[in-house]
Structure 1
């Protein structure tokens, strides 16, 4: 009898070890129950809450459970082995009230930010082929990234690319809080792989009060900010025109931080002749938290990039064969070969609940080689710099205030030589320069919450910049020379006000100044001339905007109107030898309207189709030359070169409970003037892209994604960036016809 009783107790013992935990899930904002939340108890078992947000789980010990819902952010919660617990879920980034942005050095909900700000999330990037940022950025109003050949980027925010025949200028770029734009004003955006970017914030229009030079605005990239799990990942994608991209990555948690390593390789033959592209990018990041008050992040980014330059075609060549390269480009091996290394260190320190500081420093080296149709350039650059920002929160006379202050400094030294190009090989040297560039600014900002509804911001920066061109070899004039320019200090103010109409809607207004000095590449051109008379652009932007969310984030509206008056506008022209030169074009008037609306047609956690979301984005840019007379030509009143007056983007996103998804994008771009005289235009076009796939968990520790996509679905004839004001009518840089791609992603948690 005793033996039977012993065996019965032994059999029931495992059941006694399991205890019940009652869980109730609530909306963190409204405190209302969240129905049908999916709770993953372990890697194989999932339970669904009832319509009142209630469920019961059996646990043998305290466990981390994963709570997910289509309308809320996924959250991991430590749940006790018995008793009752309430779990609060935060609404996902479907609602503007829940979107946090750090623009102007102040983390606040997007609803409260008094500026034109666009966000490009990781999910936005993965709606398209994962080879570039172009298509994702071009879905946002007021923003256009051009790619005339694979990896040949040009960024236009509210028409800011007018002075950029190639490369990224007049826009300030940051990466993980670090200045990524060189002190000469150029940005090597193409050295990064998509895996180096997780989220992006874009300030549209001048933001010099806290970010320095650049009338176009600010792009702030962030990569993964921490390691929260041990994971090995591998991606592979293939596509038309010889496209192959693969990535290997590993995340390793440490006792007080983590280590992340990512290697990506991308190669393609390109749609046109002479458009081969080959890039390798390695990123190593260390995350450390020595104490609760501080955090250290260190990174190494190495990029080896090569791409060929096909050149632009005239109308006759375009009609004959849009895939051909400009005559001479292949024979002269027109291309870019660039090796870059960035080393960074960031330190966040919280002195107390009122005061914190973030300081970042970097060093970088670049080897740049550029054979072109007309010459052959070689440059070696070394640079360093840093940024520090203090934030102090307090209450003055019952008014919450936030004070932000800091500074930024950058320096670069470049050894640059220009040679003749003999069949793609270096010929006789023409001139050799040593270039020194420095830029610095101090910034201060006051934010005052005048009431529960009104937030006022006043910002100011003091800017200093200079460059020195020491021409040690001059085979043209025969005499070495020195050219130096120190720009007068520039004070850049900004005043902004945000007014909440209710908890889900707000108005904002701002007046901000901007300036942008000429870069060394604009002063020192390829044929050897040095134009010290080129003046800095200066302007004032007036903006009024409205943001709101309705129906618990199912409908969101973000719109703004602006007027930007720019003086001493820098534009490009080409001489008879085909060399791009620069000039000040007087004043421009830039009036615009930008609007984005998204709404969820379906959002049901338990249905097969969980979400159907539609997004519309409209850009109306009515930019004119106000006073632009050159010789016998009067361009006053003409449309601003390179800017489409109207752009419309429509997006459809479908998510299903089993993990299948579909993304569809339609983009309409209006006629674009390609010269200052407005006599040549790129015709309007409709561009359609689509991607479909499946993502989910497989087995105990694997996650998997399979996808397939098509670009230029209707086989439209278009360009992602033509040449402006070229010599010989070489305007056209045709983009690829309809093409397909596909890929696989595998992750292992260990």
Structure 2
């Protein structure tokens, strides 16, 4: 009897220490085919790899968080208890145009079958450069150029649209999480966002008025991270030349039916040039909830506190003397910008049934803005609100699938804008004070029909309304205070587009669209106090044809377009140095945009896992077709501020050990800096590189260390010239060779 009892005890003890086994089958989420070579990282054990049938057996002594990774798929982590049979689905890492899904023109389709020129900037592309701005990632896309006149002073050009933007972001519509981010006055404070506030971005090139209202320069749609798959704490630290310091801390917490995320980022630098320091603090809080399978609710709060100095443009002699100096007077007058912005959003999506759904988003924001400049001192306090709603109806018209999209957008802003004299960087006597009310609204409708399984047609319209009310309360000049109104008549903007699906991996697209872009209030009401009510809206027509496809390992995206623009708004500078605006007749804009990428090598199990090359070419052959100013005929000249040719080459290498290398080359052609084409920014080549190591320790810790160099060739160039500048002050010198490095830590709990 004692021996039997001892045997039973030993059996119980042995069973308590036995390993439980999980049987896993790993499949491609899209094709449902098994994935061989998936690496399973198991705490306290050697890594395991799935077989040819995607099968894997994991023995566990206790519940453990296991990470699954593959070079061609997105990594996932799951908690395994043991004694279970599971089928895991892994999503392919983006390697084909057919796998990149975009929502441009409010139609969620693979990029290869989208009816328009759309580029997508993915999260991994944002983080292959110095993480101090979005500039480098966006400049790898054909037809897109971001310039930086000083740290945090951006100017965006989509197909040459920066001609009317001496500073700031204009003539480009920007959305953040499908919510209008561009103010109703037509300007966008893009510099209040940190890179961490963006997960990916879509860029629609050319007029997109059928869905997004007035604007000829295109649309940028930013998306921040929404879904939280695991609880996570992360922190980043980045440093670099010229006093660059950036640190971030973030928390993602999953909830019963949603998630909550919070992050804080502080970035500052002394700047390459004298008087070019910047300091930005950004806090973001996001809550996402899915109370049912048919409803989603999201709300976000963004607070940004931004300060940056403005060194000003230099003439050729000053550049030759010392390219790092500030423009004389900038330091003494404390030329700079201080801006505090609070931005709150609320969005709601609901599926009424299988055919009808609605998406509605609202926002409210407040801004305090202060801008001492060499010539004056500006203060503004503004409040704005608005929203966007969209209904989508999917049905059949006879034998043809159809989709009807209809909705509207409304924005209103109220601003107290005051201009003072500037006495040694302090506000002096008031010059004028205006109460500004800006209103912008439009309705949109879009009809999509699949005439055949291969042919898709899209017809879209929008009806646009805009108005500026400028009530001058104080005027120290010769004019008496008065109320002024600039109202633009309702404008109907149509768009017709076709897509022909050659295969699942290729397609042709063509479109004809109209553009309408009213001047911003900053162009109607300028810094010296004048109000130019005669400034007319730009109007144009765009004709476009393109091809997207995949040939084996090669992805190809080619677009050719012709944009005829009338009443083109251009900038010039008077003898006091004040930037003014005028309509410049017409411009002809012909262009070719090409991107090619191909994976030279990919093997999950070898030490060298992936080698990828990408190329992007932009040919913008823009000219004034009819422009006479001051008795001088500029017709036939190149469009000011536009490089005829740019070329970007990218090399990306990844290894099994987690080491990666990114190399970037960019060529920019000569850029005309004045309408007469007598002054040019010389052509230049930029070369940069980033090397790093990503590793996972245990199953919970993620670590990345990286270092990089920009402008490796130490080129002398300007990244953001002043156009048609008075006294030849064209140049905003960019940094020479400079280095950066960083460390990231993440913990899953």
Q: Same fold judged by TM-score > 0.5?
A: yes
Show the counterpart of 1:9: 11
Show the counterpart of 2:392: 391
Aligned equivalents of 1:57 and 1:636: distance in 2?
73
Show the counterpart of 2:469: 468
When normalised by structure 2's length, the TM-score is 0.97
Show the counterpart of 1:252: 253
Show the counterpart of 2:355: 354
Q: Is the 8 A contact 2:21 2:57 kept in 1?
A: no
1:152-209 Cα offsets, whole Å, 9 max, x none, are: 0000000000000000000000001110000010000001111111110000111010
Show the counterpart of 1:426: 427
Show the counterpart of 1:146: 147
Task: State whether structure 2 residue 121 is matched by structure 1 residue 120.
Answer: yes
From the superposition, tell whether residues 84 and 286 of structure 1 become closer, same or farther in structure 2 (CA, over 3 Å): closer
Secondary structure at 2:248's aligned position in 1?
strand
Show the counterpart of 1:439: 440
Unaligned runs of 5+ in 2: none
1:111: Cα distance to partner? 1.1
Aligned equivalents of 1:117 and 1:436: distance in 2?
33
Q: Is the 8 A contact 2:65 2:699 kept in 1?
A: no
Task: State whether structure 2 residue 297 is matched by structure 1 residue 296.
Answer: yes
Q: Is the 8 A contact 1:652 1:663 kept in 2?
A: yes
1:81: Cα distance to partner? 5.2
Aligned equivalents of 1:77 and 1:446: distance in 2?
42
1:355: Cα distance to partner? 1.3
Task: State whether structure 2 residue 581 is matched by structure 1 residue 579.
Answer: no
Matches within 5 A, 1:692-703: 692-703=691-702
Q: Is the 8 A contact 2:66 2:699 kept in 1?
A: no
- Report how many aligned residue pairs link the two structures: 747
Show the counterpart of 1:746: 745
Show the counterpart of 2:227: 226
1:439-475 Cα offsets, whole Å, 9 max, x none, are: 0000111111222211111111100000110011011
Moved more, 79-88 or 26-35: 79-88
1:251-284 Cα offsets, whole Å, 9 max, x none, are: 1122221211111001100000000101111111
Aligned equivalents of 1:31 and 1:345: distance in 2?
37
1:625: Cα distance to partner? 0.5
Aligned equivalents of 2:511 and 2:362: distance in 1?
31
Moved more, 91-100 or 568-577: 91-100
1:34: Cα distance to partner? 2.6
Task: State whether structure 2 residue 596 is matched by structure 1 residue 594.
Answer: no
1:357: Cα distance to partner? 0.9
Q: Is the 8 A contact 1:309 1:334 kept in 2?
A: yes
Secondary structure at 1:615's aligned position in 2?
strand
Q: Is the 8 A contact 1:411 1:437 kept in 2?
A: yes
From the superposition, tell whether residues 235 and 334 of structure 1 become closer, same or farther in structure 2 (CA, over 3 Å): same
1:510: Cα distance to partner? 0.8
1:533-572 Cα offsets, whole Å, 9 max, x none, are: 1000011111111111233xx3211111111110100000
Secondary structure at 1:50's aligned position in 2?
coil
1:232-252 Cα offsets, whole Å, 9 max, x none, are: 111111110111111111111
Show the counterpart of 1:502: 503
Show the counterpart of 2:631: 632
Aligned equivalents of 1:461 and 1:239: distance in 2?
46
1:12: Cα distance to partner? 3.6
Matches within 5 A, 1:176-575: 176-551=177-552, 554-575=553-574
Aligned equivalents of 1:77 and 1:3: distance in 2?
40
Aligned equivalents of 2:33 and 2:256: distance in 1?
38
Show the counterpart of 2:724: 725
1:695: Cα distance to partner? 1.0
Secondary structure at 1:429's aligned position in 2?
strand
1:59: Cα distance to partner? 5.7
Aligned equivalents of 2:308 and 2:150: distance in 1?
8
Matches within 5 A, 1:605-684: 605-684=604-683
From the superposition, tell whether residues 42 and 449 of structure 1 become closer, same or farther in structure 2 (CA, over 3 Å): farther
Show the counterpart of 1:94: 95
1:502: Cα distance to partner? 1.0
Secondary structure at 1:521's aligned position in 2?
helix
Aligned equivalents of 1:132 and 1:43: distance in 2?
39
Aligned equivalents of 1:176 and 1:366: distance in 2?
20
1:87: Cα distance to partner? 4.3
From the superposition, tell whether residues 269 and 83 of structure 1 become closer, same or farther in structure 2 (CA, over 3 Å): closer
Aligned equivalents of 1:437 and 1:94: distance in 2?
44
Q: Is the 8 A contact 2:236 2:742 kept in 1?
A: yes
Show the counterpart of 1:18: 20
1:51: Cα distance to partner? 3.5
1:379-410 Cα offsets, whole Å, 9 max, x none, are: 11000000001111112212111111110000
Q: Is the 8 A contact 1:79 1:85 kept in 2?
A: no
1:610-656 Cα offsets, whole Å, 9 max, x none, are: 11111001000000100001122100000000000000000001111
When normalised by structure 1's length, the TM-score is 0.97
Aligned equivalents of 1:457 and 1:61: distance in 2?
56
Aligned equivalents of 2:31 and 2:329: distance in 1?
66
1:720: Cα distance to partner? 1.1
From the superposition, tell whether residues 449 and 58 of structure 1 become closer, same or farther in structure 2 (CA, over 3 Å): farther
1:667: Cα distance to partner? 0.3
Secondary structure at 1:590's aligned position in 2?
strand
1:504-530 Cα offsets, whole Å, 9 max, x none, are: 111111111111001111011111111
Aligned equivalents of 2:683 and 2:517: distance in 1?
31
Unaligned runs of 5+ in 1: none
